[in-house]
Amino acid sequence: MLNSNLANAYANKGHDHTRLKVFADIHPIILKTKNPQIIRNYHHRIGSYYYGFNELDKALEHLYKGIFIEEDFVYHPGFAGATEIFIASVYFKKTK
């Protein structure tokens, strides 16, 4: 994923808004993979970027999309519940 690497390079240089734009531009490519783990990971990451910019509604939108990929989606044991915990963190931040 060249665009993903490019997005990370921008972040390393402190250009977080550019990272978000580059990463958002690959959304159609991500959906074409039809791979639930790639799609879930994408939505989790972009949700975390929006969280960092305090765009909490957009963060929630992507985090929820990452959860509801497939009814029988099996999470890797190391990631089970991670997105749900992040969603709780977003709601907590919204109430402050």
> Could you tell me where the DSSP H helices lie in the chain?
2-12, 16-25, 27-33, 36-52, 56-67, 82-95
Residue 4 has pLDDT above 90, yes or no: no
Q: What is the pLDDT of residue 57?
A: 93
Mean pLDDT of 14-24: 79
Residues 19 and 11 sit within 8 Å (Cβ to Cβ): yes
Residue 45 has pLDDT above 90, yes or no: no
Would you list the domain boundaries of the chain? 2-69
Cα separation, 76 vs 35, in Å, equals 14
- Please state which CATH class domain 2-69 belongs to: mainly alpha
Query: Residue 29 gets which letter from DSSP?
Result: H
Share of the chain above pLDDT 90, in %: 7
Q: What is the pLDDT of residue 37?
A: 81
Residue 38 has pLDDT above 60, yes or no: yes
Mean pLDDT of 32-40: 84
